[in-house]
Amino acid sequence: MFELDNALNNWRRPFQLGKYYSRSAIDELEAHLLDAYAEEISNGHAQLEAFEEAVRRIGHEADLRDEFRREWRDKNWLGRYVNRFRWESNWIQNPVGRIGFGVLRAFSLCVAGLGILGFPDLVRHVSGDPTFWYIMPGTWFPFFGRSMFTVFALAAVFNLMPLSPWRGYRNELFRLSYAQLALVGILYNLNLAISRGAESSVAVGILMTLAVASGPILWLIQMFGRRKSQVEQDLSVA
Amino acid sequence: MLNKELTAATVRPAVLAILAEQESYGYEIIKKVQELSDDEIQWAEGALYPMLHRLERQKLIKAVWKTAENGRKRKYYRLNVKGKQELDLLRDQWNAASNLLGKLWGPKPCLN
């Protein structure tokens, strides 16, 4: 028994998982598909046959990907950024979950922004230690051995990875660097919190860990969620 | 039937010309092209939309979502002032190309 809503959902899914389609673009393609479907029905086709013919006319996601990718690449950095931000959560079916993910992502970017603009003051306030940022065990953290501000500034820059001007493997390298930095940051903060022992240091450690880790945590959620979503899609098609 | 390159080249001027007449949406634009060309020009239907989005981004056309009579939402496009200027430019270029080919392929003057 053919059900139009199910068929539409199955057709939409690869577009939702794809990187280059805004919600509005998918809605527009769906409106076209429905017009084509209505035309095929009026030509005397059965529902399933009409839907298949309409899909053949408009194309599957794989057929349209190159054209949409070309259009996406022509966008300026802000357009790509907004597009990327939307894409990150559009694999989540539940609207509440999508909003939740968006809030977390916004938090991660806000923390990144704070890292550049005002986070040192915030942490200094939380820790009550005016020299906090200038004390670093140099041998433990050789690459960024001056102040944690450097780490935060770098974390902030890496947190803005959707702004990466690169594509393909260079973008992946960018993400990998971020993950490495995050790991080092987490280990350092744990070490710092343990060695200082004070409650304020624990709070600062948690704050910094959150700041550095929020990006990759969301990235991992997204990566595994998207993969799970793709598997469900494959199963439903099968 | 037009080849792929020529079909691609006609998309931009044809879309602008159709929208110069009245606002329209993707499906209607495709139908109009098929009708006017007697099915000689066949666009890949879904591939029209990236082109429309590009024209919109270049501020040649403006888009707005509207609810059609059957209750379904559709994205309508209409031409901007900049789009009209672009259409004039394209029309001049295509006319120049058409004139050249018309002279090359048209009836030759015969002295006999």
Supply the pLDDT for residue A140: 35
Residue B112 resides in a domain? no
Residue A139 resides in a domain? yes
Task: Give B69 to chain A, closest Cα distance, Å.
Answer: 13
Judge contact between A212 and A182, C-beta under 8 A.
yes
Tokens at A225, concatenated = 């969620």
- Please tell me whether residues A70 and A102 are part of one structural domain: no
Residue B107 resides in a domain? no
Q: Are B49 and A63 a contacting pair at CB < 8 A?
A: no
Q: What angle do CA A77, A80, A82 make, to 5 degrees?
A: 110
Residue A59 resides in a domain? yes
Mean pLDDT (chain A, rounded): 69
Query: What is the interface pTM, i.e. ipTM, of the complex?
Result: 0.86
Residue A54 resides in a domain? yes
- Please tell me whether residues A120 and A219 are part of one structural domain: yes
> What contacts B48, CB < 8 A, 6 or more positions away?
B11, B15, B26, B29, B30
- Please tell me whether residues A131 and A205 are part of one structural domain: yes
- Please tell me whether residues A8 and A122 are part of one structural domain: no
Which of A12, A39, A74 delimits the end of a domain?
A74
Domain that holds residue B95: 4-101
Task: Give B71 to chain A, closest Cα distance, Å.
Answer: 11
Q: Residue A38 CB: number of other CB atoms within 10 A?
A: 15
Residue A145 pLDDT more than 90?
Answer: no
**Higher pLDDT, residue A4 or A91:** A4
Task: Give B9 to chain A, closest Cα distance, Å.
Answer: 15
Split into its structural domains, chain A has a count of 2
* CA atoms of A102 and A96, how far apart (whole Å): 10
Closest CA to B14 of B75, B94, B80: B94
Split into its structural domains, chain B has a count of 1
- Please tell me whether residues A61 and A122 are part of one structural domain: no
Which of A74, A89, A123 delimits the end of a domain?
A74
**Higher pLDDT, residue A61 or A115:** A61
- Please tell me whether residues A220 and A114 are part of one structural domain: yes
Tens-place pLDDT, residues A119-138: 445 555 555 655 554 444 43
Most confident among A60-64, A118-122, B39-43 (mean pLDDT): A60-64
Supply the pLDDT for residue A203: 61
> What contacts A142, CB < 8 A, 6 or more positions away?
none
Tens-place pLDDT, residues A11-38: 988 888 777 888 889 999 999 999 999 9
Residue B21 resides in a domain? yes
* CA atoms of A20 and B54, how far apart (whole Å): 13
- Please tell me whether residues A42 and A158 are part of one structural domain: no
- Please tell me whether residues A60 and A160 are part of one structural domain: no
Question: At residue B67, what are phi and psi to the nearest 5 degrees?
Answer: -95, 125
Cα distances from A98 to residues A79, A92, A107, A160, A230, in angstroms, run 20, 6, 14, 20, 17
Residue A201 resides in a domain? yes
Query: 3-state class of A139 per DSSP?
Result: coil
Chain A residues within 8 Å of chain B (Cβ atoms): 24-25, 27-29, 31-32, 34-36, 57-59, 63-64, 67-68, 70-71, 74-75, 79
Closest CA to B26 of A64, A115, A95, A78: A64
Percent residues over pLDDT 90 in chain A: 15
Q: How many CB pairs under 8 A join A and B?
A: 57
Residue A52 resides in a domain? yes
Residue A192's pLDDT band (cuts 50, 70, 90):
low
Tokens at A26, concatenated = 């998918």
Residue B109 resides in a domain? no
Residue A94's pLDDT band (cuts 50, 70, 90):
confident
- Helix-strand-coil percent breakdown of chain A, rounded to 5? 80, 0, 20
Please, is B108 exposed, middle or buried when counting C-beta atoms within 10 Å of its C-beta (0-12, 13-18, 19+)? exposed
Look-up of token digits 């609207």:
A95
The enclosing domain of B48 has a CATH number of 1.10.10.10
Residue A164 pLDDT more than 60?
Answer: no
Which of A25, A59, A74 delimits the end of a domain?
A74
* CA atoms of B43 and B35, how far apart (whole Å): 12
Residue B88's pLDDT band (cuts 50, 70, 90):
very high
Residue A93 pLDDT more than 50?
Answer: yes
* CA atoms of A126 and B21, how far apart (whole Å): 64
Average pLDDT estimate for B14-29: 95
Residue B108 resides in a domain? no
Supply the pLDDT for residue A112: 57
Residue B22's pLDDT band (cuts 50, 70, 90):
very high
Domain that holds residue A10: 4-74
